[in-house]
Chains A and B, each alone.
Chain A
Amino acid sequence: MSNSELWRGRALGLLALLVMVAPLSLLISVFGEGLQSLSWSFLIDEPLQAGRAGGIGPIILSTALVLLICMSLALPLGLGAALFLAQEVRPDSRLNLLLQWALDGLGAVPSVVFGLFGYRVFVVEFGWGYSLLAGGCTLACMILPLFIRGTEQALRDCPNSYNQAAAGLAISRFGYLRRILLPVAAPGIAGALVLSAGRALAETAVLLFTAGYVMRWPESVFDSGRTLAVHIYDLAMNVSGGGPSSSATALVLLSFAMAIQLLAWRIGKKTFSRETKK
Chain B
Amino acid sequence: MINSETSPPALSIQSLSVRYANHTALQDASLEVASGELMAVVGPSGCGKSSMLSAVNRMTDLIPGARVSGSVLIDDKDVLAGKMDVQQLRRQVGMVFQQPNPFPLSIAENILFALREHGVRNKADLEQRMEQALTSTGLWDEVKDRLQAPALGLSGGQQQRLCFARALALQPRVLLLDEPCSALDPIASATVERLIASLKGRYTLLMVTHNLAQARRLADHLSVCWVRDGCGCVLDSGPTLDLFENERHPLAYQYLNGVLC
Contact = CB atoms under 8 A, between A and B. Distances in A.
Direct contact of A and B (CB under 8 A): yes
Given A90-B64, A172-B117, A167 B152 contact: no
Interface residues of B, number: 29
A161 B103 CA distance: 9
Interface residues of A, number: 19
B258 to A, nearest CB: 32
B117 A169 contact: yes
B103 A170 contact: no
A159 B152 CA distance: 13
A168 B97 contact: yes
Contacts of B109: 179
B101 A161 contact: yes
B113 A175 contact: yes
Nearest to B176: A168
Interface of B is mostly: helix
Given A170-B86, A170-B90, A161 B99 contact: yes
Interface stretch (B163-171, B204-212, B224-232): B163-171
B259 to A, nearest CB: 35
Interface of A is mostly: helix
B97 A164 contact: yes
Interface string B155-168: 00000000100110
7 contacts: A161-B97, A164-B101, A165-B103, A169-B90, A171-B117, A172-B117, A179-B103
A170 B167 CA distance: 10
B156 to A, nearest CB: 12
A183 interface: yes
A278 B90 CA distance: 28
Nearest to A174: B117
B59 A165 contact: no
Contact of B101 (A90, A165, A183): A165
A169 B114 contact: yes
Contacts of B103: 162, 165-166, 179-180
Contacts of B86: 170
A228 to B, nearest CB: 39
Contacts of B114: 169, 171
A179 B112 CA distance: 12
A72 to B, nearest CB: 28
B182 interface: no
Interface in B110-148: 113-114, 117-118
B104 A168 contact: no
A184 interface: yes
Nearest to B98: A161
B84 to A, nearest CB: 12
